[in-house]
Amino acid sequence: MLDIISIGDCTLDVFLDIDEATVSCEIKKEQCVICFNYADKIPVKRITKIPAAGNAANNAVGSSRLNMHSAIYTIIGGDKTGKEIKENFRNEKVSTKYIRCECSKETNYSTVLNYNGERTILVYHYPRNYRLPALVKSKWLYYTSLGQGHGKLHGSLLAYLKKYPDTKLGFNPGTHQLREGLVSLKPIIKKSEILFVNKQEAEGILGTNNRPIKNLLLTLRDMGANQVIITDGPKGAYAYDGNKFYHLPIFKKYKAVERTGAGDAFSTGVIAGLFWKKSLAEALRWGSANSSSVIGYIGPQKGLLTKSKMLAFLRKNSSPKTKVI
Protein backbone atom coordinates (compact mmCIF):
# COMPACT_ATOMS: atom_id res chain seq x y z
CA MET A 1 0.00 0.00 0.00
CA LEU A 2 1.16 3.50 -0.81
CA ASP A 3 0.70 6.53 1.42
CA ILE A 4 -0.16 8.96 -1.37
CA ILE A 5 -0.56 8.97 -5.16
CA SER A 6 -0.41 12.33 -6.91
CA ILE A 7 -2.42 12.71 -10.11
CA GLY A 8 -1.61 15.56 -12.48
CA ASP A 9 0.62 16.94 -15.21
CA CYS A 10 4.31 17.65 -14.75
CA THR A 11 6.40 20.19 -16.64
CA LEU A 12 9.81 21.62 -17.30
CA ASP A 13 9.77 25.01 -15.55
CA VAL A 14 12.12 27.68 -16.87
CA PHE A 15 12.41 30.65 -14.49
CA LEU A 16 13.35 34.06 -15.86
CA ASP A 17 14.39 36.66 -13.26
CA ILE A 18 13.58 40.10 -14.62
CA ASP A 19 14.12 43.65 -13.36
CA GLU A 20 12.64 45.84 -16.10
CA ALA A 21 8.87 45.71 -15.69
CA THR A 22 6.10 47.61 -13.95
CA VAL A 23 3.06 46.43 -12.02
CA SER A 24 -0.26 48.22 -12.37
CA CYS A 25 -3.17 47.64 -10.00
CA GLU A 26 -6.71 48.96 -10.15
CA ILE A 27 -7.60 51.39 -7.37
CA LYS A 28 -9.15 49.53 -4.42
CA LYS A 29 -8.81 46.26 -6.36
CA GLU A 30 -6.65 43.21 -5.79
CA GLN A 31 -6.24 42.65 -9.54
CA CYS A 32 -2.82 43.65 -10.85
CA VAL A 33 -1.06 43.29 -14.21
CA ILE A 34 2.63 43.08 -15.05
CA CYS A 35 3.67 45.37 -17.90
CA PHE A 36 6.55 45.45 -20.41
CA ASN A 37 7.33 47.91 -23.17
CA TYR A 38 5.69 46.53 -26.30
CA ALA A 39 8.10 45.25 -28.99
CA ASP A 40 11.08 45.88 -26.69
CA LYS A 41 13.93 43.55 -25.72
CA ILE A 42 13.72 42.77 -22.01
CA PRO A 43 16.98 41.69 -20.36
CA VAL A 44 16.82 38.61 -18.13
CA LYS A 45 18.97 38.60 -15.01
CA ARG A 46 19.04 34.84 -14.46
CA ILE A 47 17.64 31.61 -15.92
CA THR A 48 16.87 28.54 -13.77
CA LYS A 49 15.54 25.25 -15.20
CA ILE A 50 13.55 22.89 -12.97
CA PRO A 51 12.54 19.46 -14.33
CA ALA A 52 9.70 17.49 -12.74
CA ALA A 53 7.75 20.56 -11.67
CA GLY A 54 3.98 21.03 -11.70
CA ASN A 55 1.40 20.71 -8.93
CA ALA A 56 1.31 16.92 -8.78
CA ALA A 57 5.10 16.61 -9.04
CA ASN A 58 5.61 19.13 -6.25
CA ASN A 59 3.20 17.20 -4.06
CA ALA A 60 4.80 13.83 -4.83
CA VAL A 61 8.31 15.09 -4.09
CA GLY A 62 7.22 17.03 -1.01
CA SER A 63 5.31 14.05 0.38
CA SER A 64 8.32 11.77 -0.12
CA ARG A 65 10.54 14.20 1.78
CA LEU A 66 8.02 14.13 4.63
CA ASN A 67 8.47 10.35 4.88
CA MET A 68 5.38 9.31 2.96
CA HIS A 69 5.61 6.53 0.38
CA SER A 70 4.53 8.45 -2.72
CA ALA A 71 3.86 7.74 -6.38
CA ILE A 72 2.70 9.86 -9.29
CA TYR A 73 0.42 9.37 -12.26
CA THR A 74 1.53 11.72 -14.99
CA ILE A 75 2.29 11.72 -18.71
CA ILE A 76 5.68 12.72 -20.09
CA GLY A 77 6.98 13.12 -23.62
CA GLY A 78 9.64 11.08 -25.35
CA ASP A 79 12.19 13.90 -25.22
CA LYS A 80 15.25 14.47 -23.05
CA THR A 81 13.15 16.45 -20.57
CA GLY A 82 10.84 13.48 -20.03
CA LYS A 83 13.81 11.29 -19.16
CA GLU A 84 15.16 13.94 -16.76
CA ILE A 85 11.79 14.19 -15.05
CA LYS A 86 11.59 10.46 -14.49
CA GLU A 87 15.15 10.40 -13.13
CA ASN A 88 14.37 13.27 -10.78
CA PHE A 89 11.44 11.32 -9.33
CA ARG A 90 13.68 8.30 -8.76
CA ASN A 91 16.22 10.49 -6.98
CA GLU A 92 13.44 11.82 -4.74
CA LYS A 93 12.22 8.27 -3.97
CA VAL A 94 8.91 8.80 -5.75
CA SER A 95 7.56 5.67 -7.44
CA THR A 96 7.53 6.01 -11.23
CA LYS A 97 5.31 2.94 -11.75
CA TYR A 98 2.37 5.01 -13.01
CA ILE A 99 4.28 7.42 -15.26
CA ARG A 100 3.16 7.06 -18.87
CA CYS A 101 5.12 8.18 -21.94
CA GLU A 102 3.47 9.60 -25.04
CA CYS A 103 6.75 9.25 -26.82
CA SER A 104 5.70 10.91 -30.08
CA LYS A 105 5.07 14.16 -28.19
CA GLU A 106 7.14 16.46 -26.03
CA THR A 107 6.94 17.16 -22.32
CA ASN A 108 4.87 20.06 -20.97
CA TYR A 109 6.66 23.38 -20.64
CA SER A 110 6.26 26.48 -18.48
CA THR A 111 8.02 29.83 -18.50
CA VAL A 112 7.92 31.56 -15.14
CA LEU A 113 8.52 35.32 -15.01
CA ASN A 114 9.87 36.21 -11.57
CA TYR A 115 9.57 39.90 -10.73
CA ASN A 116 9.94 41.25 -7.18
CA GLY A 117 9.23 37.84 -5.67
CA GLU A 118 5.94 37.32 -7.51
CA ARG A 119 5.56 35.01 -10.47
CA THR A 120 3.60 35.04 -13.71
CA ILE A 121 3.46 31.65 -15.41
CA LEU A 122 3.07 30.91 -19.12
CA VAL A 123 2.03 27.26 -19.39
CA TYR A 124 1.77 24.93 -22.37
CA HIS A 125 0.09 21.55 -21.85
CA TYR A 126 0.53 19.16 -24.77
CA PRO A 127 -2.76 17.44 -25.66
CA ARG A 128 -2.84 14.18 -23.74
CA ASN A 129 -4.83 10.97 -23.83
CA TYR A 130 -5.54 10.72 -20.11
CA ARG A 131 -6.41 7.27 -18.79
CA LEU A 132 -6.03 6.30 -15.14
CA PRO A 133 -4.09 3.04 -14.76
CA ALA A 134 -4.98 0.34 -12.25
CA LEU A 135 -3.68 2.01 -9.10
CA VAL A 136 -2.91 0.06 -5.95
CA LYS A 137 -4.62 1.02 -2.71
CA SER A 138 -3.31 4.25 -1.23
CA LYS A 139 -4.11 6.06 1.99
CA TRP A 140 -4.37 9.36 0.11
CA LEU A 141 -4.89 10.55 -3.46
CA TYR A 142 -3.94 14.07 -4.48
CA TYR A 143 -5.80 15.24 -7.59
CA THR A 144 -4.63 18.45 -9.21
CA SER A 145 -3.75 20.34 -12.39
CA LEU A 146 -4.22 18.61 -15.77
CA GLY A 147 -4.68 19.81 -19.33
CA GLN A 148 -7.68 19.71 -21.61
CA GLY A 149 -9.36 16.33 -21.87
CA HIS A 150 -8.82 15.52 -18.21
CA GLY A 151 -12.55 15.01 -17.67
CA LYS A 152 -12.31 11.40 -18.82
CA LEU A 153 -10.38 10.66 -15.61
CA HIS A 154 -13.28 11.64 -13.37
CA GLY A 155 -15.19 8.38 -13.78
CA SER A 156 -12.08 6.29 -13.08
CA LEU A 157 -11.20 8.43 -10.07
CA LEU A 158 -14.67 8.10 -8.58
CA ALA A 159 -14.64 4.34 -9.26
CA TYR A 160 -11.31 4.04 -7.43
CA LEU A 161 -12.69 5.90 -4.40
CA LYS A 162 -15.72 3.60 -4.40
CA LYS A 163 -13.46 0.54 -4.51
CA TYR A 164 -11.26 1.90 -1.71
CA PRO A 165 -13.63 3.90 0.52
CA ASP A 166 -10.94 4.44 3.17
CA THR A 167 -8.74 6.35 0.73
CA LYS A 168 -8.79 10.09 1.39
CA LEU A 169 -8.82 12.54 -1.50
CA GLY A 170 -7.06 15.89 -1.47
CA PHE A 171 -8.39 18.00 -4.34
CA ASN A 172 -6.50 21.08 -5.52
CA PRO A 173 -8.03 21.98 -8.90
CA GLY A 174 -5.83 23.49 -11.59
CA THR A 175 -6.63 26.08 -14.24
CA HIS A 176 -8.32 23.77 -16.77
CA GLN A 177 -10.30 22.02 -14.04
CA LEU A 178 -11.55 25.33 -12.65
CA ARG A 179 -12.56 26.46 -16.13
CA GLU A 180 -14.75 23.37 -16.48
CA GLY A 181 -17.04 24.98 -13.91
CA LEU A 182 -18.99 23.86 -10.91
CA VAL A 183 -20.99 21.12 -12.65
CA SER A 184 -17.77 19.27 -13.47
CA LEU A 185 -16.13 19.94 -10.11
CA LYS A 186 -19.03 19.01 -7.82
CA PRO A 187 -18.74 15.19 -8.00
CA ILE A 188 -15.01 15.42 -7.11
CA ILE A 189 -15.58 17.97 -4.35
CA LYS A 190 -18.26 15.71 -2.89
CA LYS A 191 -15.75 12.87 -2.48
CA SER A 192 -12.92 15.05 -1.17
CA GLU A 193 -11.49 14.76 2.31
CA ILE A 194 -9.97 18.21 1.76
CA LEU A 195 -10.65 20.81 -0.92
CA PHE A 196 -7.72 23.22 -1.34
CA VAL A 197 -8.32 26.53 -3.15
CA ASN A 198 -7.16 30.11 -2.82
CA LYS A 199 -9.65 32.90 -2.23
CA GLN A 200 -9.80 33.96 -5.88
CA GLU A 201 -10.45 30.36 -6.96
CA ALA A 202 -13.15 29.93 -4.31
CA GLU A 203 -14.92 33.05 -5.57
CA GLY A 204 -14.56 31.85 -9.16
CA ILE A 205 -16.08 28.44 -8.37
CA LEU A 206 -19.04 30.09 -6.67
CA GLY A 207 -19.38 32.95 -9.16
CA THR A 208 -19.22 35.59 -6.50
CA ASN A 209 -17.13 38.47 -5.17
CA ASN A 210 -16.59 39.97 -1.74
CA ARG A 211 -18.24 37.21 0.27
CA PRO A 212 -16.97 36.82 3.85
CA ILE A 213 -14.40 34.05 4.12
CA LYS A 214 -16.61 32.03 6.46
CA ASN A 215 -19.38 32.08 3.89
CA LEU A 216 -17.02 30.80 1.20
CA LEU A 217 -15.84 27.98 3.47
CA LEU A 218 -19.36 27.03 4.49
CA THR A 219 -20.76 27.07 0.96
CA LEU A 220 -17.93 24.94 -0.45
CA ARG A 221 -18.19 22.43 2.39
CA ASP A 222 -21.93 22.12 1.80
CA MET A 223 -20.97 20.60 -1.57
CA GLY A 224 -19.69 17.54 0.27
CA ALA A 225 -16.00 18.04 1.07
CA ASN A 226 -15.19 16.94 4.60
CA GLN A 227 -12.82 19.88 5.12
CA VAL A 228 -12.24 23.05 3.10
CA ILE A 229 -9.07 25.14 3.21
CA ILE A 230 -8.80 28.56 1.56
CA THR A 231 -5.48 30.38 1.33
CA ASP A 232 -5.44 34.16 1.03
CA GLY A 233 -1.85 35.23 0.36
CA PRO A 234 -0.39 37.43 3.10
CA LYS A 235 -3.57 37.03 5.16
CA GLY A 236 -2.80 33.35 5.73
CA ALA A 237 -5.03 30.29 5.56
CA TYR A 238 -8.58 29.60 6.64
CA ALA A 239 -10.22 26.22 7.21
CA TYR A 240 -13.57 24.71 8.13
CA ASP A 241 -14.12 21.13 9.21
CA GLY A 242 -17.88 21.25 9.79
CA ASN A 243 -17.48 22.12 13.46
CA LYS A 244 -14.99 24.97 13.71
CA PHE A 245 -13.58 27.74 11.55
CA TYR A 246 -9.79 28.20 11.76
CA HIS A 247 -7.34 30.91 10.78
CA LEU A 248 -3.56 30.70 10.62
CA PRO A 249 -1.51 33.84 9.79
CA ILE A 250 1.68 33.44 7.76
CA PHE A 251 5.19 33.16 9.20
CA LYS A 252 5.96 36.81 8.46
CA LYS A 253 9.72 36.81 8.95
CA TYR A 254 10.29 34.57 5.91
CA LYS A 255 10.64 36.80 2.85
CA ALA A 256 9.77 35.67 -0.66
CA VAL A 257 12.49 35.16 -3.25
CA GLU A 258 10.03 33.49 -5.63
CA ARG A 259 6.53 32.13 -4.93
CA THR A 260 6.03 29.28 -7.42
CA GLY A 261 4.92 26.14 -5.62
CA ALA A 262 3.90 27.88 -2.39
CA GLY A 263 0.35 26.55 -2.65
CA ASP A 264 1.55 23.03 -3.47
CA ALA A 265 3.95 23.10 -0.53
CA PHE A 266 1.12 24.24 1.72
CA SER A 267 -1.32 21.49 0.74
CA THR A 268 1.47 18.90 0.87
CA GLY A 269 2.37 19.95 4.40
CA VAL A 270 -1.26 19.87 5.55
CA ILE A 271 -1.84 16.35 4.20
CA ALA A 272 1.43 15.11 5.69
CA GLY A 273 0.51 16.64 9.05
CA LEU A 274 -2.81 14.80 9.04
CA PHE A 275 -1.08 11.62 7.86
CA TRP A 276 1.24 11.85 10.88
CA LYS A 277 -1.81 12.14 13.16
CA LYS A 278 -1.67 15.87 13.81
CA SER A 279 -4.83 17.91 14.43
CA LEU A 280 -6.13 20.11 11.62
CA ALA A 281 -4.92 23.16 13.54
CA GLU A 282 -1.37 21.78 13.70
CA ALA A 283 -1.50 20.41 10.14
CA LEU A 284 -2.17 23.96 8.94
CA ARG A 285 1.11 24.96 10.60
CA TRP A 286 2.88 22.15 8.72
CA GLY A 287 1.48 23.57 5.50
CA SER A 288 2.48 27.14 6.27
CA ALA A 289 5.98 26.07 7.35
CA ASN A 290 6.51 24.17 4.10
CA SER A 291 5.27 27.13 2.07
CA SER A 292 7.44 29.60 3.99
CA SER A 293 10.50 27.49 3.24
CA VAL A 294 9.71 27.07 -0.47
CA ILE A 295 9.37 30.78 -1.20
CA GLY A 296 12.94 31.33 -0.02
CA TYR A 297 14.30 29.68 -3.18
CA ILE A 298 13.90 29.81 -6.95
CA GLY A 299 11.58 27.00 -8.02
CA PRO A 300 8.91 24.93 -6.28
CA GLN A 301 10.95 22.07 -4.82
CA LYS A 302 14.32 23.18 -3.47
CA GLY A 303 12.78 24.46 -0.23
CA LEU A 304 10.44 21.52 0.40
CA LEU A 305 11.11 20.36 3.95
CA THR A 306 12.06 16.89 5.14
CA LYS A 307 10.21 15.63 8.19
CA SER A 308 13.13 16.37 10.52
CA LYS A 309 13.47 19.90 9.12
CA MET A 310 9.72 20.40 9.42
CA LEU A 311 9.77 19.53 13.11
CA ALA A 312 12.81 21.74 13.67
CA PHE A 313 11.14 24.64 11.83
CA LEU A 314 8.01 24.37 13.99
CA ARG A 315 10.03 24.16 17.20
CA LYS A 316 11.91 27.30 16.19
CA ASN A 317 8.70 29.09 15.20
CA SER A 318 6.24 28.49 18.01
CA SER A 319 4.02 31.25 16.64
CA PRO A 320 1.78 32.04 14.96
CA LYS A 321 -0.71 29.51 16.22
CA THR A 322 -3.89 28.44 14.50
CA LYS A 323 -6.88 30.16 16.07
CA VAL A 324 -10.55 29.28 16.09
CA ILE A 325 -12.48 32.21 14.60
Q: What is the CA radius of gyration of the chain?
A: 19
Q: For 35-88, write each residue's pLDDT tens digit.
A: 877 778 888 888 888 777 899 999 999 999 999 999 999 999 999 999 999 999
Q: For 224-262, write each residue's pLDDT tens digit.
A: 999 999 999 999 999 999 999 999 999 988 888 888 899
Average pLDDT over every residue of 304-319: 97
Average pLDDT over every residue of 271-288: 98
Angle value at C-alpha 197, between 242 and 249, nearest 5 degrees = 75
pLDDT score recorded for residue 30: 62
pLDDT score recorded for residue 124: 82
Cβ atoms of 30 and 96 within 8 Å: the answer is no
Residue 27 lies in a domain: no
Q: How confident is the model at residue 17 (pLDDT cuts 50, 70, 90)?
A: confident
Q: What is the DSSP letter of 95?
A: B
Crossing angle of helices 182-190/199-206, nearest 10°? 110
Q: What is the DSSP letter of 216?
A: H
Residue 45 lies in a domain: no
Average pLDDT over every residue of 284-301: 96
The domain tally of the chain equals: 1
Q: Which domain holds residue 137?
A: 2-11+53-106+127-324
Residue 98 lies in a domain: yes
Residue 68 lies in a domain: yes
Residue 116 lies in a domain: no
Average pLDDT over every residue of 194-214: 95
Residue 44 lies in a domain: no
Could you count the other beta carbons within 10 Å of the beta carbon of residue 203? Answer: 16
Residue 120 lies in a domain: no
Helix (H) or strand (E) holding 50: strand 44-53
Please give the Cα distance from 261 to 265 (Å, whole number): 6
Among the listed ranges 34-48, 160-174, 197-211, which one has the minimum average pLDDT value? 34-48
Please give the Cα distance from 160 to 178 (Å, whole number): 22
Cβ atoms of 254 and 293 within 8 Å: the answer is yes
Look up the CATH number of the domain holding residue 255: 3.40.1190.20
Residue 305 lies in a domain: yes
Q: Give the pTM.
A: 0.91
Average pLDDT along the chain: 92
